[in-house]
């Protein structure tokens, strides 16, 4: 039996809520799971993720394969970094420090993007409030004097009448090839 770490949908219509579960790979999306490892609420900003890192790490170590989305969640939460550093033989303190740094970098990136988005929205709002003044283009007076154009005499070239002469077709003599004498069939 292949175990996967994947999402199981819960929640109501138009408001999804997902459990992160260890489940048989052949089971349907909302089927019976082996264990609930955490949950995610994608409707909040930022997405609310609650994850039991030790159980997720356990399932990864016994061979469970995360789906793409769960892999991203585990990476963002530092579970995959914790597993990688554990394989490298790092101490628990080094692992915790690396995971804390990883989360701090992710949080600063999120804050920077949020600030940039707020600045962009603020600039758009100010641009919309500012009165739009369009300068009317100045129209230069047009002089009535048009350049003099010399009349051009159009002389049509003389075309010689072409006599339509039908090409002479030589009668083709249809000569039937002479049939070769057939040899009588031998019995």
Q: How far apart are CA 48 and CA 71, in angstroms?
A: 16
CA angle 38, 70, 90 (to 5 degrees): 85
pLDDT in 10s for each residue of the chain, 187 residues = 789 999 999 889 999 999 999 999 888 877 788 999 999 998 987 788 889 989 999 999 999 999 999 999 999 888 999 999 988 888 889 999 999 999 999 889 989 999 999 999 999 988 888 776 676 677 766 666 666 666 666 666 666 666 565 566 665 556 555 656 666 666 6
Q: How far apart are CA 49 and CA 59, in angstroms?
A: 18
| Beta pairing partners, 177 | none
The answer for residues whose C-beta is within 8 angstroms of residue 63's C-beta and 6 or more apart is: 3
CATH of the domain spanning 3-128: 3.30.1320.10
Are 11 and 73 in contact by the 8 Å Cβ rule? The answer is no
Are 40 and 7 in contact by the 8 Å Cβ rule? The answer is yes
Q: Can you give the residue ranges of every domain in the chain?
A: 3-128
């Amino acid at each position: 039996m292949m175990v996967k770490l994947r999402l199981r949908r819960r929640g109501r219509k138009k408001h999804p809520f997902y459990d992160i579960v260890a489940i048989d790979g052949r089971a349907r999306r909302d089927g019976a799971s082996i264990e609930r490892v955490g949950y995610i609420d994608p409707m909040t900003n930022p997405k609310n993720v609650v994850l039991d890192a030790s159980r997720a790490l356990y399932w990864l170590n016994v061979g469970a394969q995360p789906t793409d989305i769960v892999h991203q969640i585990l990476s963002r939460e530092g579970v995959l970094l914790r597993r990688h550093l554990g394989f490298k033989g790092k101490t628990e303190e080094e692992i915790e420090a690396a995971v804390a740094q990883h989360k701090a970098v992710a949080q600063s990136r999120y804050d920077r993007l949020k600030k940039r988005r707020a600045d962009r929205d603020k600039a758009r709002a100010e641009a919309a409030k500012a009165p739009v003044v369009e300068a009317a283009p100045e129209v230069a007076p047009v002089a009535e004097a048009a350049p003099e154009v010399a009349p051009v005499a159009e002389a049509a070239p003389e075309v010689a009448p072409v006599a339509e002469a039908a090409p002479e077709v030589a009668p083709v003599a249809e000569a039937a090839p002479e049939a070769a004498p057939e040899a009588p069939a031998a019995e």
